[in-house]
Chain A
């Protein structure tokens, strides 16, 4: 059998190559040591977040985008807290909370009980994150719509220049998915292991980083927990790492944050 596609098999066993990173002294301590995520705003763009889940422990705010054919843009924006329709957004938020306990988590619900208009709602959620000054936005979802390539690319560029780090789950499907494919975002695939801050850099992008995402004990709906596998659960580990480093070093731009993550990867050697 041939190797899995480059966009999904980047971190298969034995495929990890050494890369050269910035020569930052004791980079992991510099980036994460003693950090709590305090003062960092993190958007979880997903199915909603159950703020009362014990592994989430409250969130700072929420907004939901819902389809409405009568609205000018085809959807409406509803401010305020809301339920998690499935449990996935709660899983992502709980991972971030566990690693960056003082981060300000905002739930941006773009997934609803209907599959129509997914791309437009995803775009709206990212735009909201940029407009509201989120430092990090976790996107454990993706679109394969060619029609959304341009609009999502444009808003990803806006995020990059505005200082919002977009952390996107790669997809285990053939062909490109957006926005994880763009150079302006941090794309993440799942790797085995129990180390919560484990990180690897892929020498052959577009998938750039590998983080914990296999058999992860995650929060779920109805205040429960499950053991789940997917790139969706790797991305929030990296979102939390970015929150940690930005709470210690608020001046870090998306460009710098990615370079620090690369230098902090286990297969990175100092240049």
Chain B
């Protein structure tokens, strides 16, 4: 996992756990700047993690940007068919995904804090299950972040959330020996 300088390292645990939950190639969190105009990737795990952290994009760009603008989770099965897919950003990370799932992270006042994105998750059926779970996790991370805004000195709630999810994933996979994460 990779986190940006000054970023609560527990966010790294959250993206690591979320990536494990979905069996995804990568997972990242991007946060909205104070002006509400850009998203900066601050934590990532999996393919392209080191390259994507620190990248900033306008909120009107890409699938993550749309989730932030609309406040709605979204899944795109083939982003390469999206003419505005931020291909240059993806290629700079040396991993160009096929599918992107993104959910907004909203604070208790309803303001968009950022976006939780998952690249190429392993889903075994077409349903809105993935969006429901991703949206719920994004909401939980946002709530915990809001409780400890920018406080690296008190990272326990975020770390606990990540650890809990990782433990659940491990126990679930242990029950399904044929499944790879």
Interfacial residues of chain B within 11-38, with CB under 8 A of chain A in the complex: 32, 35-37
Interfacial residues of chain B within 110-132, with CB under 8 A of chain A in the complex: 110-112, 126-129, 131-132
Interface string of A209-237 (1 = CB under 8 A from B): 00001110000111111111111100000
A88 touches B70 (CB 8 A): yes
A residues near B, CB below 8 A?
Answer: 4-5, 8-9, 11-13, 46-47, 85-88, 111-116, 118-119, 140-148, 169, 171-175, 177, 189-192, 213-215, 220-232
Closest to B78 in A: A227
B83 touches A86 (CB 8 A): no
Q: Is B43 an interface residue (CB 8 A)?
A: no
User: CB-CB < 8 A to B108: which residues of A?
Assistant: 146
A173 touches B73 (CB 8 A): yes
Closest 6 A-B residue pairs measured CB to CB?
A145-B110, A144-B110, A222-B83, A115-B36, A172-B135, A229-B75
How many angstroms between the C-alpha atoms of A213 and B128 in the bound complex?
Answer: 9
B129 touches A231 (CB 8 A): no
User: CB-CB < 8 A to B68: which residues of A?
Assistant: 115
Most chain A CB neighbours (cut-off 10 Å) among B104, B106, B131 = B131
Interface string of B74-110 (1 = CB under 8 A from A): 1111110111100000000000000000011010111
A189 touches B59 (CB 8 A): no
B36 touches A172 (CB 8 A): no
User: CB-CB < 8 A to B66: which residues of A?
Assistant: 47, 86-88
How many angstroms between the C-alpha atoms of A112 and B84 in the bound complex?
Answer: 16
Interface string of B47-74 (1 = CB under 8 A from A): 0000000000011100001101111111
> Which label, helix, strand, loop or mixed, suits the secondary structure of the A interface?
loop
B65 touches A86 (CB 8 A): yes
Give 27 pairs: A residue, B residue, CB < 8 Å, sorted on A. Answer: A5-B136, A11-B128, A12-B129, A47-B66, A86-B69, A87-B66, A113-B37, A113-B59, A115-B32, A116-B36, A140-B72, A141-B72, A145-B110, A146-B109, A147-B109, A172-B131, A173-B106, A174-B139, A190-B131, A192-B126, A214-B127, A214-B128, A220-B81, A227-B78, A228-B75, A228-B76, A229-B131
Q: Is B133 an interface residue (CB 8 A)?
A: yes
User: CB-CB < 8 A to B158: which residues of A?
Assistant: none
The one of A5, A115, A177, A230 in contact with B75, judged by C-beta atoms closer than 8 angstroms, is: A230
Q: Is B140 an interface residue (CB 8 A)?
A: yes
The one of B35, B76, B106, B111 in contact with A226, judged by C-beta atoms closer than 8 angstroms, is: B76
B96 to chain A, nearest CB (A): 15
How many angstroms between the C-alpha atoms of A82 and B112 in the bound complex?
Answer: 25
Closest to B113 in A: A115
Q: Is B166 an interface residue (CB 8 A)?
A: no
B83 touches A220 (CB 8 A): yes
B77 touches A228 (CB 8 A): yes
Closest to B82 in A: A226
How many angstroms between the C-alpha atoms of A229 and B29 in the bound complex?
Answer: 20
Q: Is B145 an interface residue (CB 8 A)?
A: no
